Structure 1
Amino acid sequence: MIRASGLTVRRGTKVLLDQTEFVVHPGERVGFVGKNGAGKSTLFALLQHELDADAGTLDVPSGWRIASVRQEIASTTNAAREFVIDGDTHLRTLQAARAAINAELEQRPERIEAFGAKIAELESELIEADAWTAPSRAEQLLAGLGFTPAQWEQPVDSFSGGWRMRLALARALMAPSELLLLDEPTNHLDLDAMLWLERWLGAYQGTVLLISHDTEFLDAVAQTILHFDQGKLNRYKGGYQDFVLQRAERLRQTTIAYERQTREAARLQGFIDRFKAKASKAKQAQSRVKALARMELLAPIHAESGIDIRIPSPDEMPDPLLVLDDMQAGYTDEAGTSIPILRNVKLMVRGGDRIGILGVNGAGKSTLVKTLAGELEVQAGSRKASRGLEVGYFAQHQLDMLDLDSSPLQHLARLAPQTREQELRNYLGGFGFGGDRVMDKVEPMSGGEKARLALSLIVWQKPNLLLLDEPSNHLDVETREALTTALAEFGGSMLLVSHDRHLLRTTVDSFWIVADGGVQEFDGDLEDYRDWLAQHQANARKQDAIARDAGKPATLGTAAVQDTQAALGDRKNQKREQAQERQRLAQLRKPLETKLKAVEKELEQTQMQVRTLDERIADPDLYSDARRQERMKTLAKHGELTKLASELEDRWLSLQEELEQLDVSSE
């Protein structure tokens, strides 16, 4: 198991970890959460021996192989599939040794007898390393992360930054490992790739340590949460939802900031009540009511975070705001040729609309948002904007437009030169730039801090239509929750592209789907979208097969949206069957979980006794002749307890495997 004892880590004058202790059991999937800069990535660096602790110890079993995602990929023309297989360095070493022998024998075939034993040994090791299935395993990883078969043979250099990060993730998953370290693995994934990764991690046999600000991903993957809090790591059992409930209750039981917490809870409750009163019966509206109810429980955490984002209400709200009539949108290449991405779009954005935009990566979501924002010209048809339309557009590339040598206060003062400095300071304080932070230069700020600043500048201007393209990327959990609250309360219209499912559930009332060169309204919630996506992909594969047989390129029109929605008519029956299956599995899980708790408790007690005996055995006086009998008893007891601890660990692993098999069988 992984064990930290008295672990202390400093960066400059800042103490990230202060005499902290924690344990991670084999096979656990642990999520690390905490504010930006709390030390999550630093802990990963310690585990990989890239940094040294200032004090204490961090022990990882010596035989464990560690796999992690490289944040930077060196330039290479290797094919994507070969790049992924390279992640299995042991396999590549064996293949290189075998190739070297082959090269030698080509030059000197008479030496075949001298290499016989070595060839046999290498062939056996290659079989053990699953060498013959390596290409298919790499292809499964690539397919799961959204790469088409045509892309498997493309050079790594031909992919954009986001797709290269997917390749880096696939390479890490390819590597045989007992410990997998994942730092924000979902940042460059769309929803279908995230769902695939959740399933893959659920079946992974090793230990997973995960840093993520995506709360639903943490809920789906993590069995335990370790929270960075004031230099300590506090352990919470369960996923992220369990963590926030337990932590909120812990904070409620203290008197710190009680009045602030009460006011925050009352403000959120008032908003929830108002929304419930006007919510429609549409599926997504009802999903949103449930998601908003959860915000009550988070009120103490919101208050403690010190981030209180408020988006000003617009001065006026035309209706409709935008009308798209047979619109064609896309890009223009260097030669001046128009390249259409979306065609025949007929949609309307009305006052008060709150729309989530769904679709796989590359479908055209960002193209749609840029066209709505006016950053891309309409290629055909029309985009009619109402008089009084004020657009606030946020996308990640806008972070690059910030003045790195200026402070947050200087940025805002340029927008509002007539506004008093104290008012500007108060406003920026809600976005986490309090006190002297408003005067700090932008250049050394983290991606999350830059995103907060860019968003604050956009909403200061009181837009009545917010167009948000992945606004929560790089934000820590506390800031995401504050942004979610602010967007839920926003009085204007909003179109949101995001892979953060909690953000979507809490802030939008309806969805558009971007697929197959078109945009369609979608009557359903995120669960329906998951089913639609599976059906849509099945239809696409079927049409691809038909097209291959006919020797023609595959085509799948936007009518697939309506076709696949019709196929979801038996969703109620499916849900009922799923509920019955969950109940059956819960009954099977209960005795296993009871046994697991008992084993965990006995293991902790045994390990505590072993540590006590370790201290006694380390005492030089124990080895004096006068204490011979005591020494023999102590050593014998230490041997018994060490053996018992090993047996308990094996029992714990066996029970954990049984539980995981139940989880896998339920998918």
Structure 2
Amino acid sequence: MIRATGLTLRRGAKVLLDNTDFVINPGERVGIVGKNGAGKSTLFSLLQGKLDADAGTVLLPSGWRIASVEQEISHNSNPAREFVMDGDVHLRAIQAERAGTPDSDGHRIAELESALVEAGAWSAPSRAEQLLAGLGFAPDQWLSPVNSFSGGWQMRLALARALMAPSDLLLLDEPTNHLDLDAMLWLERWLGAYEGTVLLISHDTEFLDAVARTILHFDQGKLIRYKGGYEDFLTQRAERIRLAHLAIDRQSRETARLQSFIDRFKAKATKAKQAQSRVKALARMEVLAPLQRESGIDIRIPPPTSMPDPLLVLDKVSTGYTDANGAARPILRDVQLIVRGGDRIGVLGVNGAGKSTLIKTLAEELPVLAGERRASKGLEIGYFAQHQLDMLDLESTPLQHLMRLAPQTREQELRNYLGGFGFSGDTVNSKVAPMSGGEKARLALSLIVWQKPNLLLLDEPSNHLDVDTREALATALAEFAGSVLLVSHDRHLLRTTVDNFWIVADGQVQEFDGDLEDYRDWLTARAASARAEARNEAQGENAETPSVDRKAQRRHEAEERQRIALLRKPLDGKLKKVEADMEAASRRLKELDALIADPEFYSDARRDERLKVLAEHGELGKKHGMLEEHWLELQEELEALAAS
């Protein structure tokens, strides 16, 4: 186990941990949470031996192998598959020694050949390819040099390399930052099967909740342990704060404000499935209002001064880029979409499908190559791009940034506004350069929404934000009176803030009539279809047309059907059992959802019932998720059987 005793960690003059103790047991999946700058990454550096504790001790089992994700790989020119295989350092060392051992040393060669078999040398290329495929790399990219990939895809390669390494302790610091939803779901499954100990830093609360079974929270110089996943941690911590009587008056006001919004939303909701998902997310925010108050982040987006309808129309638009020779390179074609006043749209699609291209076109960052972009006269766009942090003046302060936008506004009003985004006291006059990515993202958001846009175009706005700021942003966007188009892999943010979805795929943009669970099913079906198509093509290429004995062929086909039927029978039985359990869990979740959506449920008189219901809902939600994963695995087995 990992045991810390009297641990003190400092970064400069700042105390990150002060005389704290904690234990992590073998095989645990531990989520490490806390505000930006709390010390999460510093703790990882300590466990890796890259720095020493200022006081106290941290003891790890002496034989433990530690794997983590490298941050700097851009100059590596090795083929992607070889780079991933290099993560298995032990195997590479044996291979190097075997290559350098003279043929005359037969005894040592025999030892090394045995060691290669034990280290899985012959299956290593296949293991590396499985990791690459799971993280979204197509087979024709497996032998491409590492430095030919963009930064985001290089980080996927670094992640695959870390997963390739045999390890007892896996340290993952924001592993989902550059993953799309299907790659995230794959990583969740992979970590579920990993036999070692996992320490995970993530601001993606749904991913954290799916993987972690224990939470360690940086809290006022201590690491506080919570049993369960992230949702359990939130509920337990909210109750701790409530019992400590922190900000009860403010909590009551937040409760009334959010409940009013929930009531308004339910009254106008038209799509039952997505509406129910969003009501649940908003109800969760209301229960956890004291956590938001304690965080000191209270983002409020000013209402727009006008709301034309429609705001923006794309009429048979083709959009993309122009190459060095001036030739048009369309990414999206024949896009026919309308953004109406009050729309709240989540943009889905795998990495590289064209989501950012669509947002840039709507924001006029990219010109249309064909068709027409028509904007209403009163359109005011607030655009948060993935490169937004690079637009900040590093030598200026948050207050100076805002004063440039509003030179006539009183300084105290500007300070009050920045305070809602977590900049208070001396921080409003601190230079931007040394700030964390999360602090810079908060500042960029504050500058965008100050200008009272009626259309927010947000491209991965939460990438650098800590959990508290993500919750505050979700609340602010849920209450925003204007229109929102949101590209994000943060499923909680999507559930909380959008009513409808668009899917970007195959050069097209289409409305999607469903929620995130339906999108996951869509991804699964699409992947299965692609695999089937690839098999059909391969079979077509290998097809031969000799004369066939039809009678023998029919006999063989009958025997094959009988063989497959025998193999299918136990799988079908398991599938029926899983489906029955999923149906029972879904029925109970619907009953609990009805309770959670009832405003009376949040009265003081029902506090004990509320805690039991929320706990049951959390456990049942996890059970339903695991059943779904098992269902998918059984479906894949059946599909593989049918294809064999």
Structure 1 length as normaliser, TM-score? 0.82
Q: Is the 8 A contact 2:214 2:228 kept in 1?
A: yes
Tell me what 2:485 maps to: 495
Q: Which of 385, 391, 403 lines up with 2:375 in the alignment?
A: 385
Q: What is residue 262 of structure 2 aligned with on the other side?
A: 272
* Range 254-263 or range 294-303, more displaced: 254-263
- Aligned-partner residue type, residue 51 of structure 2: L
Q: 1:526 aligns with which of 488, 493, 516?
A: 516
Work out whether 1:485 is the aligned partner of 2:475. yes
Deviations 1:270-290 (A, max 9, x none): 222221222223422221111
Matched letter for residue 198 of structure 1: E
Alignment match, 1:88: 88
Partner of 1:411: 401
Superposed, which structure 2 residues align to 1:65-464 within 5 Å? 65-73=65-73, 75-101=75-101, 104-105=102-103, 111=104, 115-464=105-454
Shift in Å, 1:545: 4.2
Q: Cα offset for 1:517? A: 0.7
On the 8 A contact 1:265/1:300 being kept in 2, the answer is no
Answer whether contact 2:319 2:367 (CA < 8 A) is retained: yes
Moved more, 281-290 or 368-377: 281-290
SS of corresponding position for 1:379: strand
8 Å Cα contact 2:74/2:147 also seen in 1: no
- Structure 2 residue corresponding to 1:539, chosen from 529, 534, 546: 529
Q: Alpha carbons of 1:397 and 1:66: their partners in 2 closer, same or farther (altered >3 Å)? A: same
Q: Answer whether contact 1:269 1:296 (CA < 8 A) is retained.
A: yes
8 Å contact from structure 2 (residues 33, 217) kept in 1: yes
| Corresponding residue for residue 580 of structure 2 | 577
Structure 2 equivalent of residue 8 of structure 1:
8
- Within a 5 Å distance, the mapping from 1:608-627 to structure 2 comes to none
- Indicate the SS of the match to 1:250: helix
Q: Which runs of 4+ in 1 moved over 6 A?
A: 660-664
Look up the SS of the partner of 1:479 in the other structure: helix
Shift in alpha-carbon separation, 1:192–1:662, aligned structure 2, 3 A: closer
Residue 58 of structure 1: aligned partner: 58
C-alpha contact (below 8 Å) 1:320/1:351 kept by paired residues: yes
Q: Rate the CA distance shift 1:339–1:31 in 2: closer, same or farther, 3 A.
A: same
Give the stretch that moved more between structures: 11-20 or 259-268.
Answer: 259-268
Per-residue CA shift, 1:61-98, capped at 9, x if unaligned? 00110000011115121100000000000000000011
Describe the SS at the equivalent of 2:387.
helix
State the distance in 2 between where 1:431 and 1:77 align: 42
Q: Are 1:34 and 1:229, in contact at CA under 8 Å, matched by a contact in 2?
A: yes
Q: Distance in 1 between matches of 2:578 and 2:412?
A: 54
Secondary structure of the residue that 1:131 maps to in structure 2?
coil
Distance, in Å, in 2 between the alignment partners of 1:295 and 1:409 is 30
Distance (Å, rounded) in 2 between the aligned partners of 1:88 and 1:412: 50
Measured in 2, the distance between the counterparts of 1:231 and 1:180 equals 24
1:509 and 2:509 matched: no
Structure 1 residues 221 and 457, CA gap change in structure 2 (3 angstroms): same
Residues 460, 661 of structure 1: CA spacing in aligned structure 2 closer, same or farther, 3 A cutoff? closer
Indicate the residue corresponding to 1:627 in structure 2: none
CA distance in 1, matches of 2:106, 2:628: 46
In the alignment, is the contact (CA less than 8 A) between 1:318 and 1:388 conserved in 2?
yes
Residues in 1 aligned to 2:207 and 2:354: alpha-carbon distance in whole angstroms: 24
| Deviation at residue 547 of structure 1 after TM alignment | 4.9
Secondary structure, counterpart of 2:580 in structure 1: helix
CA distance 1:575–1:134, change in 2 (3 Å): closer
Amino acid at match of 2:39: G
- The one-letter amino acid paired with 2:212 is A
> Secondary structure of the residue that 2:8 maps to in structure 1?
strand
Contact residue 281 and residue 495 of structure 2 kept, 8 A? yes
CA distance in 2, matches of 1:146, 1:207: 25
**Distance of 1:77 and 1:451 partners within structure 2:** 32
How much has 1:258 moved relative to structure 2?
2.2
**For the Cα contact (< 8 Å) 1:2–1:59, is it kept in 2?**
yes
Deviation string, structure 1 residues 523-564 (Cα, Å, up to 9, x no partner): 00000000001111222233344456667xxxxxxxxxxxxx
Aligned to 1:46: 46
Structure 1 equivalent of residue 22 of structure 2: 22
Q: Closer, same or farther in 2 for the Cα pair 1:59/1:661, shift >3 Å?
A: farther
Tell me if structure 2 keeps the 8 A contact 1:514–1:520.
Answer: yes
Letter in 1 for 2:42: T
Deviation string for 1:230-253 (max 9, x for gaps)?
011111111110000000011000
Is contact 2:215–2:225 with CA below 8 Å preserved after alignment?
yes
Give the greater-gyration-radius structure (CA): 1
Determine the C-alpha separation between the residues in 1 that align with 2:39 and 2:112. Answer: 43
- 1:35 paired to 2:35: yes
Query: 2:33 and 2:395 mapped to 1: Cα distance?
Result: 31
Amino acid at match of 1:318: P
SS across alignment from 1:37: coil
User: Deviations along 1:454-494, whole A, 9 cap, x unmatched?
Assistant: 11111111111100000001100000000000000000001
CA distance in 1, matches of 2:254, 2:325: 55
Relative to structure 1, the CA distance from residue 78 to residue 304 in structure 2 (aligned partners, 3 Å threshold; closer, same or farther) is same
Q: Closer, same or farther in 2 for the Cα pair 1:373/1:270, shift >3 Å? A: same
User: Is the 1:280–1:286 Cα contact (8 Å) retained in structure 2?
Assistant: no
Separation in 1, partners of 2:456, 2:365 = 14
Deviations 1:250-306 (A, max 9, x none): 100012322222222222222222212222234222211111110111100000001
| 1:541–1:662 CA distance, 2 compared to 1 (3 A) | closer
* Counterpart contact for 1:4–1:59, Cα < 8 Å: yes
In structure 1, runs of 5+ residues without a counterpart are 106-110, 552-572, 584-659
1:603 alignment partner in structure 2: none
Counterpart of 1:579, as a letter, is M
After superposition, the C-alpha distances for 1:85-119 in whole angstroms (9 at most, x for unaligned) are 00000000000011112xx44xxxxx3xxx11101
1:197-249: CA deviation from partner (whole Å, max 9, x where unpaired) = 00000000000000001000011000000100001111111111000000001
Q: 1:663 to 1:536 in 2, by over 3 A?
A: closer
> Unaligned regions of 5+ residues in structure 2, if any?
542-575, 587-624, 634-644
Number of residue pairs matched by the alignment:
562
Compute the RMSD of aligned alpha carbons. 2.0
Residue 123 of structure 2 aligns to a residue whose secondary structure is helix
Measured against aligned partners, the alpha-carbon deviations of 1:357-392 in whole angstroms (never above 9, x if no partner) come to 000000000000000000000001111111111111
Report what 1:617 is aligned to.
none
8 A Cα contact 1:285 1:510, kept in partner? no
Separation in 2, partners of 1:314, 1:575? 49
Deviations 1:104-145 (A, max 9, x none): 44xxxxx3xxx1110110011111100000000000000000
Greater shift in the superposed pair: 308-317 or 536-545: 536-545
Work out whether residues 396 and 451 of structure 1, in 8 Å CA contact, stay in contact via their aligned partners in 2. no
Aligned partners of 1:664 and 1:294: how far apart in 2?
A: 24
Structure 1 residue 665: Cα displacement: 4.8
Counterpart-to-counterpart distance in 1, 2:122 and 2:132: 17
Partner SS for 1:396: coil
Q: Kindly tell me: are residues 284 and 60 of structure 1, through their superposed partners in 2, closer, same or farther at Cα, counting changes over 3 Å? A: same
